[in-house]
Amino acid sequence: MKIVVIGGTGLIGSKLVAKLGEHGHEAVAASPNTGVNSLTGEGLAEAMAGASVVVDVSNSPSWEEHAVMEFFQTSTRNLLAAEAAAGVGHHVALSIVGTERLAANSYFRAKIAQEKLIEESSIPFSLVHATQFFEFVPGIADSATDGGVVRIAPVLFQPMAGEEVAEALGRVTVGSPLNGRVEIAGPEQGRMDEFFRKVLAAAGDPREVVTDPHAHYFGSELEERSLVPGDGALLGKVAYADWLVQNKPAE
């Protein structure tokens, strides 16, 4: 089966392409690096010729309010039009757990707009909502840093390994369209402030983690369950501590 992965050279996309290839599928890594640009439409028709499934794991290069909305809306419209012309039977998109609960955030609003276009199209679809990736933990801490202090809200947090995101995406990709969504998350749920306090201490990071109920997460104030899935989510098996050991940088 030919499967086109939009954003196929990125963190999740490259893992997904590799996993699909291991299972005998023709997985095409489509990105500007490979001559396929979903924003301009360049190379889309050629990439999708003969494809059964398209998986969109692309991300906007800018998170500025207007730029991110333009990216997700234009890119998604271009993809859906090219898929319809090529007879693609399944559109899979990676999104984020809690998107609909954080609509005050411009990035999440853009993801909501993306999903709306997919849901209203004629192409059968599956939406995969994932929690935060372990790979993004340092960036989340940096975004919450003010001087030598990291301000984190005491809300629930359930991150997962990028490898397991790709595995779950792969299962959805080769299955029948859900025409709905599935949530995926890590195996451990706990308080976000406590998670970062332990992580930074274990890494010897001198920054102090301060519990702040009003701390913003990329511009949004969080409620207790803003970032975690509901009942029925598919859970990974890799805990953060084990992932750290497996992904320790070479000295």
Residue 149 lies in a domain: no
The C-alpha atoms of residue 80 and residue 180 are separated, in whole angstroms, by 16
Place of tokens 């949004």: 220
Q: Is residue 193's pLDDT more than 80?
A: yes
Instruction: Tell whether pTM > 0.85.
Output: yes
- Evaluate whether residue 217 is within a structural domain: no
Is the residue at 222 inside a domain? Answer: no
Give pLDDT, residue 239.
97
Within a domain: 118: yes
Q: pLDDT digits over 19-75, tens only? A: 999 999 999 999 999 999 999 999 999 999 999 999 999 999 988 999 999 999 999
Does 196 map to a domain?
no
Mean per-residue pLDDT, 146-154: 95
**Which pLDDT value is given to residue 50?**
97
Q: How many domains in the chain?
A: 1
Mention every residue, 6+ apart, whose C-beta is less than 8 A from residue 61: 67, 71
What share of the chain in percent tops pLDDT 90? 92
Task: Give the least confident one: 62-66, 152-156, 190-194, 209-213.
Answer: 62-66
Give the SS3 label for residue 117: helix
Predicted local confidence at residue 184, as pLDDT: 98
Query: Domain span at residue 26?
Result: 2-134+160-188+228-246
Which residues face 93 on adjacent strands? Answer: 56, 127
pLDDT at 250: 53
162: left (phi over 0), alpha (psi -120 to 50) or beta: alpha
Does residue 45 belong to any structural domain of this protein?
yes
Residue 71 covered by a domain: yes
Q: Is residue 139 part of a domain?
A: no
Closest by Cα among 21, 24, 28 to 7:
28
Length of the chain measured in residues: 251
